């Protein structure tokens, strides 16, 4: 009973993989132009500047591009290319109709892990970093993007140059499989919209941002992929991956760079994590997964969150977690935001979007404060007295529903108010929907008869509107 289960040993990168510090140096070198433009924008444009963006998509305005061109000694086209790279790498973050420096830019010179995560974000978006030629069919592009994880995995396992002909053969086989798998999914003939790419690889392993293009209705009988059709698409894909520094491509062969090999290994490890979900919650919805994590220790719960997230697109996973947080169970609300902490920066827009929802506001403000670098021990200082009291009641509701009486009594000690009468006055004022139930449970659990009587009286007053 007292023995802890053996932990899965931390996986080691393949032999010959450079140390993280060396990988970070390579990433900084490859993203030097993007970081320079992002730093320039931070300094020259400043927060809230009208010149930063013009179209609501965080593209530089003409005036800003010309200004950066003069300041940095680059052409406007180079400035725009570096700006786009900075966006994809998270050095610049888009918020509504404006852009601001990303947290990775703030940590760029001191945090190797932030640099590597930024480069992996660019690697994930390789098809956006080097858009396909206009003559390519969107559905064909989506098929190739969905098939490239297998190509990259083969390159990583080969650990050396691979002839393009061999990669083309592998791509043809995978695209044919995708077409066959898609035809097993029922489609709505009226709308002409399909059910996705049908890839068997978890989305976290797909280094691409174009899977939405795969939502097209296939032909009744899928035709096998032809080399003449796929060869130019493979050529584009390899050039695109080379443009972000993931591989070298030339003389009829392709080779992963050390950064590219490491990134593909990281993606394969994510698949392994997803396949070895510690508590077996990988296939269930967010709410059920969170319930399954309620009894786990914090580290075990975080491992479960990572496994669950690794098997889903980030966007839909975050949406599920936010929806679970909006439910009536206060425990799930807190756990949902713990899972969103594991998501990190990609969850920021969704978290920021719920700041004005009273039920989620305290949780969102704490999440954003920690995301911006505030020490978790000090993050509560961003809350007003009313917000902190509301959060205290919500947490007490979670304890009352799922914990034991001593936990609820100890929770009383965590209140900001110096006395119980002051706490009761402020609890009544915040109007939490669970106030009565929390006070009744606290009165039943507290060993001091006088205090329990005062709490019961407060519960009755709230119940009767007093």
pTM metric for this prediction? 0.55
Indicate whether 383 pLDDT > 70.
yes
List pLDDT tens digits, range 226-237: 667 788 899 999
% of the chain with per-residue pLDDT over 90: 16
The pLDDT value given to residue 46: 63
Are the beta carbons of 306 and 294 closer than 8 angstroms?
no
Per-residue pLDDT reduced to its tens digit, 355-368: 999 889 999 999 99
Q: Is the pLDDT of residue 454 over 70?
A: yes
Say yes or no to pLDDT of 339 above 90.
Answer: yes
Q: What is the mean pLDDT of the chain?
A: 78
Q: Which residue has the higher pLDDT, 182 or 108?
A: 108
pLDDT at 318: 92
Instruction: State the Cα torsion 53-57-59-64 to the nearest 10°.
Output: -10
Alpha-carbon gap, residue 413 to 415, rounded angstroms: 6
**How high is the pLDDT of residue 205?**
38
Q: Distance between CA atoms of 431 and 436, rounded to whole angstroms? A: 10
pLDDT of 282 reads 75
pLDDT at 278: 56
The predicted model gives 308-332 an average pLDDT of: 88
The count of other CB atoms within 10 Å of the CB of residue 140 is 18
Residue 198: pLDDT over 60:
no
Does pLDDT of 248 surpass 70?
Answer: yes
Q: What is the pLDDT of residues 19-28, one digit of tens each?
A: 989 999 999 9
For residues 183 and 177, give the distance between their C-alpha atoms in angstroms, rounded to a whole number.
10
Structure tokens at 329: 């169970």
What pLDDT is attached to residue 224? 60
């Amino acid at each position: 009973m007292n023995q802890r289960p053996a932990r899965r040993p931390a996986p080691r990168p393949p032999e010959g993989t450079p140390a993280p510090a060396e990988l970070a140096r390579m990433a900084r070198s490859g993203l030097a132009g993007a970081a320079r433009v992002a730093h320039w924008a931070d300094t020259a444009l400043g927060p809230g500047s009208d010149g930063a963006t013009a179209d609501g998509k965080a593209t530089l305005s003409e005036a800003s591009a010309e200004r950066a061109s003069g300041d940095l000694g680059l052409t406007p086209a180079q400035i725009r290319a570096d700006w786009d790279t900075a966006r994809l790498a998270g050095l610049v973050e888009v918020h509504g109709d404006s852009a601001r420096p990303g947290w990775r830019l703030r940590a760029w010179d001191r945090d190797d892990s932030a640099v590597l995560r930024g480069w992996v974000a660019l690697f994930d978006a390789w098809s956006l970093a080097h858009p396909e030629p206009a003559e390519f069919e969107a559905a064909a592009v989506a098929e190739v993007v969905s098939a490239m994880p297998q190509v990259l995995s083969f390159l990583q396992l080969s650990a050396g140059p691979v002839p393009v002909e061999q990669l083309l053969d592998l791509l043809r086989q995978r695209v044919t499989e995708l077409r066959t798998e898609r035809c097993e999914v029922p489609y709505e003939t009226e709308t002409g919209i399909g059910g996705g790419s049908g890839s068997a690889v978890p989305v976290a392993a797909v280094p691409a941002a174009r899977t939405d293009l795969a939502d097209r209705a296939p032909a009744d009988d899928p035709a096998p992929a032809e080399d003449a059709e796929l060869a130019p698409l493979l050529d584009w894909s390899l050039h695109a991956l080379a443009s972000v520094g993931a591989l070298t491509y030339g003389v009829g062969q392709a080779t992963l760079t050390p950064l590219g090999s490491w990134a593909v290994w990281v993606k394969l490890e994510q698949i392994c994590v997803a396949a070895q979900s510690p508590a077996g919650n990988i296939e269930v919805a967010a709410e059920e997964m969170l319930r399954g994590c309620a009894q786990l220790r914090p580290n075990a719960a975080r491992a479960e969150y990572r496994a669950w997230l690794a098997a889903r697109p980030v966007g839909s996973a975050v949406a599920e977690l936010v929806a679970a947080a909006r439910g009536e169970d206060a425990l799930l609300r807190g756990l949902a935001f713990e899972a969103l902490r594991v998501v990190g920066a990609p969850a920021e827009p969704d978290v920021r979007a719920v700041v004005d929802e009273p039920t989620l506001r305290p949780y969102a403000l704490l999440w954003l404060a920690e995301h911006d670098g505030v020490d978790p021990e000090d993050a509560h200082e961003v809350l007003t007295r009313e917000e902190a009291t509301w959060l205290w009641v919500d947490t007490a509701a979670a304890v009352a529903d799922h914990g034991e009486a001593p936990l609820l009594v100890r929770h009383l000690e965590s209140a900001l108010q110096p006395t119980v009468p002051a706490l009761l006055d402020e609890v009544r004022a915040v109007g939490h929907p669970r106030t009565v139930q929390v006070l009744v449970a606290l009165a039943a659990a507290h060993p001091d008869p006088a205090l329990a009587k005062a709490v019961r009286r407060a519960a009755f007053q709230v119940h009767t509107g007093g």
